[in-house]
Amino acid sequence: MLSPTLFPLFCVLFLCFPVAVIFTVQREITAATSPEFGFHSRNLHASTPVVRFRQQIPKDDEQLLRLASRVNPNQPSPGSIRKLAFMYLTTAPLPFAPLWETFFNGSSKELYNVYVHADPTREYDPPFAGVFENRVIHSKPSERNTPTLASAARRLIAHALLDDPQNYMFALFSPSCVPIRSFDFTYKTLVSSRKSFIELLKDEPLQFERWAARGPIAMLPEVRFDDFRIGSQFWVLKRRHALVVARDRRIWEKFNKTCLWEGSCFPEENYFPTLLNMKDPRGCVPATLTHVDWTINEEGHPRMYEREEVVHELIVRLRNTRPRYGEDGINGSDWTIGRSDPFLFARKFSPEALELLMGMARTVLFNDSACGA
């Protein structure tokens, strides 16, 4: 029989032991699985996540997108905060990170989230810092002329959907993109829109070659040639359209095939425009808000603005250019005639232009009264 003085101690040990076991097992499970979930601090090849999602995030794309497709489809209620999801798809350090830092500086962190997809086979020196620190999602290799760039964008959308139910608009950027308006102007423009901004171009040069890049009838019957669209890979999607992407399997299966002709293979410029053209063309403004100059085309790359070209007058011209709205009449877009949405971003800028862009950040780029705009 236990001594009266030992009986309370025995009870305490009896009650606490299962809790200790559960805590220990949970720590072991977390240690074993944590590299598969959440954000990664991509300090060169570091792979341990330091920011956790509200739920476990699988590495497998199929499981990831299935999970994302189940999130609440409702837009944030009128009284709640609507956030912008800034999604960066890169295979190199972000050369304009200091400029983006200035863009976000002074803005409430309750208004935006940042996500980075960084090809894990590349070196990132200097590592991501500031608003980009610890914001790298689980990423996979990505390269042109393959479905991997479109896969990376789908991965970003899925993570942003799962991360924050208040993410309202989802914007995709490349390392060479820069903002040309203030955060306040950008935020108000996007959250006030009832539509997504994505090019839905029809009857473009080599459109048939792109459609048939996987084989003469490989896209049929799901994607007819008349349904096929081309557009900039840099778009801004409403939450409902981000969910369309996350839920899609049928159309993605076609674009996820290996191309027979790499020179005509640009899924990142075809999949998203085609999908939304088939699902909800009238829910889209058929234009991109990221300015690009295709008057110079070097092996499929648009004009790059070099350091000596970055002057006040360039920003004036970029801001005052009217976006291209599809074919202004094709695709049910007659209502866009006379419309003139502002360009909010621009590309491609040479990394050597950073110093000059930083010099005009507050006086020109993020000064909404400058440039006559």
Quick: pLDDT tens for 83-99. Answer: 999 999 999 999 999 99
pLDDT in tens, 109-148: 999 999 999 999 998 988 899 999 999 999 999 999 999 9
* Confidence bin at 336 (pLDDT 50/70/90): low
Mean pLDDT score, 56-80? 88
Counting residues of the chain whose pLDDT is more than 70, the rounded percentage is 81
**pLDDT at site 297:** 83
Rounded distance between C-alpha atoms, residue 50 and residue 324, angstroms: 42
Other CB atoms within a 10 A radius of the CB of residue 256 amount to 18
**pLDDT at site 343:** 96
β partners of residue 369: none
Counting residues of the chain whose pLDDT is more than 90, the rounded percentage is 70
More confident residue, 64 or 55: 64
Mean pLDDT score, 26-31? 33
Mean pLDDT score, 346-356? 97
Statement: residue 34 has pLDDT above 50: no
Lookup: tokens for 275: 């999908």
Q: Backbone phi, then psi, for 261, in 5-degree steps?
A: -125, 100
Q: Are 199 and 288 in contact (CB under 8 A)?
A: yes
**pLDDT at site 327:** 57
| Among 292, 291, 318, 312, CA closest to 357 | 312
Mean pLDDT score, 67-78? 84
CA 251 to chain centre: 20
Q: How many residues does the chain have?
A: 373
Q: Which of 69-78, 113-122, 273-282 has the lowest mean pLDDT?
A: 69-78
Lookup: tokens for 347: 């590309």
Q: Are 90 and 117 in contact (CB under 8 A)?
A: yes
Rounded distance between C-alpha atoms, residue 87 and residue 244, angstroms: 17
Q: Backbone phi, then psi, for 207, in 5-degree steps?
A: -65, -40
* Confidence bin at 79 (pLDDT 50/70/90): confident
Mean pLDDT score, 156-164? 97
What's the helix, strand, coil split of the chain in %, to 5? 40, 15, 45
Rounded distance between C-alpha atoms, residue 48 and residue 28, angstroms: 15
Which pTM was predicted?
A: 0.85
**pLDDT at site 150:** 98
**pLDDT at site 73:** 84
Rounded distance between C-alpha atoms, residue 71 and residue 73, angstroms: 6
* Sheet bearing 196-197, strands edge to edge: 112-118, 83-90, 167-173, 236-238, 196-197, 284-285
Rounded distance between C-alpha atoms, residue 272 and residue 231, angstroms: 8
Largest CA distance in the chain: 93
